Amino acid sequence: MKRLCATAALCLGLVSCNQYVKPRVTITVANRSAQPIRNVEVDYPGGTYGINALAASATAEKTVEIDKKECAFKLKFEDASGKAFGGDELKLGTTCPARVELAVDEKLKTVAR
């Protein structure tokens, strides 16, 4: 009987801990413009991280844990002259996919996929 109670308690503990695991999302930042960008800031559900510089046509990838909120991102950056761009909220729905691409296009506009 003690073994059965211990097993049940262990299973209950494992199931309840599962609710605290945050989903992971791999974020790719792609510079599809013809010029380098710098001071890149990525805001995602539950956090922020930065990239010092990203050359023209380069990408950077990072896997992060996210909160279970609406899947919305912001991408801010500066061009080579120091002019600030981005900052618009890019919404991807109520749940985030396992992979997200945030791209800077040739007109220095931000898009999400």
Closest to 27 (Cα-Cα) out of 105, 97, 86: 97
Closest to 22 (Cα-Cα) out of 50, 48, 45: 45
pLDDT value for 99: 96
Flag whether the pTM goes above 0.85.
no
Take residue 52 and report the two structure tokens written for it.
């010092």
pLDDT in tens, 55-109: 999 999 999 999 877 899 999 999 999 999 999 999 998 888 999 999 999 999 9
Query: What type of residue sits at position 10?
Result: L
Q: Are 112 and 96 in contact (CB under 8 A)?
A: no
State the residue for tokens 């990525």: 42
What the chain holds in terms of domains, given with CATH numbers, is: 22-112 (2.60.40.2890)
Summarize the confidence of residues 35-47 as an average pLDDT: 96
